[in-house]
Each structure stands twice: as C-alpha cells, then as structure tokens.
Amino acid sequence: MGQEIHSTQFSEATFKEFERRLINETGRLQKALADGDFSDTGNICGYELESWLVDHNYIPSPINQDFLSQLNNPLVVPELSRYNVELNGEPLPLHGNVLTAMTDELNQTWRQCQDKAHELDSVLLMIGILPTIRQQDLCLANMSDLKRYRALNEQVLAKRAGRPIRICIEGRECLTIDHPDVMLEAATTSFQIHLQTGQNDAVRYYNAALIAAGPLVAASGNSPLLFDTDLWDETRIPLFEQAIEMGDNAVPEKRRVSFGRGYVRASLYECFDENISQHTALLPILMDGPCDHYAHLRLHNGTIWRWVRPLIGFDADGTPHLRIEQRVLPAGPSLVDMMANAAVYFGLSRFLATLPEPPEVCFGFDKARENFYAAARNGLHAGLFWLNGRSSDAGTLLLEEILPKAKLGLKMLAIADDDIEFYIDIMTARIMTGQTGSVWQRSYRNKHKAGNLQLVAAYLERQRSGAPVHEWEL
C-alpha cells in the first residue's frame, strides 16, 4: 500500500487482468516456497510508528505534506490523513544491544521530526487514539493528497453500494455512529513490529505471533477514548476492524481487518491463498516486472489488514524473504514503553517458536483469538488462557508465566543482558503498578474531571519527559 498509483478509475477488464496476475503470482509463491527459494536469513527486526501532528491547541494539524517535504527524510512517510505520519526504522539483526540501538534510532528520528513540527507551529504526539479527534476531522478534505488513498475510499464505498460505514462499539460506554468514508481508520495509530524469519521457521513464528497477541495487547493498551466516549482499553482494535467494512459484520473473520481464520499449518502460502478466496481486489493496479517480484500479490496483501500479517520482501541480493508484521500494539505512551513491548514480543515469539512441541498443537486458535479480544476490551484485568491450561487475569499471567518466558527467549536470541534487564524491568513495573497508557488516561480524566484538551496537554507533557508510563504522575 506504500506505492503511489496513477489512476483511481478501473474497468472490469482491469480487475480481471489483475486477478489473473494475482493468481499467477500466488501459484508462483506456492512453488517457490515448496522449492525452498526463499531466504533462510532470520532474526532481522524493524518497526513502523504512526504518529499525530497536532497544533498548540492539541487539535489535529493537517500539514503532513508541508511537514514531509521540508523534513525530506525517506524514513518518514505519509499516512491516510493529513495529520498523521509514519516513522520507519532500518532493519537490524536481532542480537546484542539491538533494543538500545532501535530506541536510539527512533529517538533520533523523533527529535528530528519534532524539531520540524515546531517550525510549523505543531507538535508530534504518539498515542493510539487522540482524545481530541472529532468526527468532523475525519473527512475527505483531511485525506492525504495521494491517489491510492482516494482510490481505496472509492472502492470500499463502491463495494458497500454507497452505504455509510457504521461503527458500533460497546465498552464501558457505548458508541454507535455512521460515517460516509474510510477516514475513521485515520483515528487509529500503531507501533508495528516486523520480524524477518527464515522460510523454514516462518510457520512457527507466525503462529507464535498470534498466541502472543493477547498478552501483548493486555499489557500495552493506550486507546480508551473515542469521541469523548470511554470504550475498550484498546478501542483501536474494534474501530479499525469496522472502519473498512464491506461485508457482513456478523462474520468478523471475513473482514479486511481481522485476527484471521486460524493458524497456519504448513506454509505462509496459506495466507496468500486465503487472500484470493476471501477478499476481492480493491486496487487493481497493473504493474510490469517478473512474476517472482510478486508485485500484484504484495499490493493485494497490503489491502488486507490482519492483526498478524505475513509480508514478502527481498534481501539485499534480491532473494525473497518472509516477514511477520505484528500490528496489535498502539503508538505510545513513550519510546521506552514501545521498545519494552517489542522486547516482550521478540522474546516470547522466540520462546514459543522453538518449543519442542509447537504450542499451536494444544493451544487452540479459538483461545488465542478469545485472548486477543478480551485483552483489547479489559487490558490487564482481562481473563486469559495460557498454554499450561491455566487461566487467570492477564496481569498475573504476564508476571508469573509470560515475562519469564519472554526473558528466556531474549537470552536465546543472544540479546545483551543489560538490554534484557532494562526493558523487561519496564514491562514488569508497568504490570505491577497496573498503569498502562489507557489506565493513566482514565485515571487522570477522572481525578481532574479533565476535558480532552486538558488530558492531551498533560499526556504530552509526560511523554516529553521520556519516562515510561508506570512513572507518570496523575
């Protein structure tokens, strides 16, 4: 989805030709994976951070075109709305002091972006859903000036026969709204973690990412509010799932945004085959190039937003590789909080993916999915299942079962001891204090009877301090 296109109008013949090429490339992928043509290089990590541009009144500032042109950094790119941008990291080997290196890199890019935002009378902010966002801000006038986004909106609405998108979320309070376009997606920002894996390990790591999703969300919620309504600990999850909806809401696994339909059994090819059988093309852009560049397959996959999504990329020598994109984590509250989340993910996925007996054999997909939505709804208080048959509140399971396994996984990756201790200690303290980003937002709002402007001002002040969220005062 990162590439720009030249047209937003597509004929029936174009859709048919795109489908033909997509089927050919998917067949080529099946053969390439069966023949072992994909890279064996694994344990390479990266990230994407979606963030907000806001003005000095803490209202979204739709200036990303000026911001990006003046910043001129290829690692910082546009997002769907004019008040969002995405910061990317260089791929790094997952060993040694990589967590510190990732933090330092992100901090440097963040500071550069913040300096440029200040020059434009704005400020950069990382939070899952901005409390000051209003439904009126989520309009086509605030869509980034890229044809691919216009085309996406037109195709989604065409599939819906022009019917507005309905959002219905029941949490601590309830919210039901109709919206005329896909811009509600722009209300959700995330910290997406990429993990490149050798093709022989890809199935195990993909399933491990699904199992890890619930505990990760429970420990990292940072999106409790939408349109002044208190909903889930991670309201970004149901909002994004419903914001690009074309089918039957009663069948959640058929949505373009979903937790998926099951574990992978033999090959990640199964996900790409499912892409064809379950989802029609939205952007039938015809591209030149050989079949084994997978251009049409990758574009189609980019319009299907699984919470754990397989990706195809290429090593420096042109060998295709597999990456797993963990999409469940929100942006914020701080840089070190996000890297602590990444540390737990890297360690836990390594531990799960290398167990002698694959955990997905005895831990049903329905339990992984139930964990995910329970965690998104109730955070550390969610009741979760775990591999040994134990069920408990998420906080207890994280402290007693999951963090020790994540720590062991990091040691297996040869992550430096000082990195392991620093970032796992941050996560441990967050769980022991019970103060995630969502908990802090609710607590501050209740204690001070704060409106959204006051809440964002206080949140930004603490984010600027660099302290992890468990140290934030009310």
Q: What is the domain extent for residue 34?
A: 12-468
pLDDT confidence bin for 4, thresholds 50/70/90? low
Q: How far is CA 171 from CA 176, 375, 382, in A?
A: 11, 12, 13
Burial class (CB in 10 A: 0-12, 13-18, 19+), 250: exposed
Span 26-51, average pLDDT: 97
CA distance 101 to 93: 10
Identify the H or E element spanning 52.
strand 44-55
Specify the number of domains making up the chain. 1
Identify the H or E element spanning 465.
helix 452-465
For residue 196, pLDDT over 80 is answered with: yes
The verdict on residue 168 lying in a domain is yes
CA distance 30 to 48: 28
CA distance 76 to 50: 10
The verdict on residue 38 lying in a domain is yes
For residue 253, pLDDT over 70 is answered with: no
The verdict on residue 5 lying in a domain is no
CB 65, CB 82: distance < 8 Å: yes
CA distance 132 to 123: 14
For residue 254, pLDDT over 80 is answered with: no
The verdict on residue 6 lying in a domain is no
- Give the bridge partners for 370, in sequence order: none
Span 222-251, average pLDDT: 89
The verdict on residue 337 lying in a domain is yes
Share of the chain above pLDDT 70, in %: 97
Nearest to 373 by CA among 185, 238, 226, 182: 238
The verdict on residue 2 lying in a domain is no
pLDDT tens track for 5-32: 666 679 999 999 999 999 999 999 999 9
The verdict on residue 174 lying in a domain is yes
Nearest to 209 by CA among 99, 349, 12: 349
Span 329-352, average pLDDT: 98
CATH number, domain of 112, equals 3.30.590.20
CA distance 264 to 266: 6
Sign of the Cα torsion 214, 215, 217, 218 reads positive
Span 97-113, average pLDDT: 98
Q: With a threshold of 0.75, does the pTM exceed it? A: yes
pLDDT tens track for 111-160: 999 999 999 999 999 999 999 999 999 999 999 998 889 999 999 998 88
Query: Where are any strands of DSSP class E within 190-255?
Result: 191-197, 225-226, 229-230
Span 424-433, average pLDDT: 98
* pLDDT of res. 264: 98
CA distance 464 to 101: 20
The verdict on residue 297 lying in a domain is yes
For residue 249, pLDDT over 60 is answered with: no
- Give the bridge partners for 47, in sequence order: 193
* pLDDT of res. 255: 86
pLDDT confidence bin for 84, thresholds 50/70/90? very high
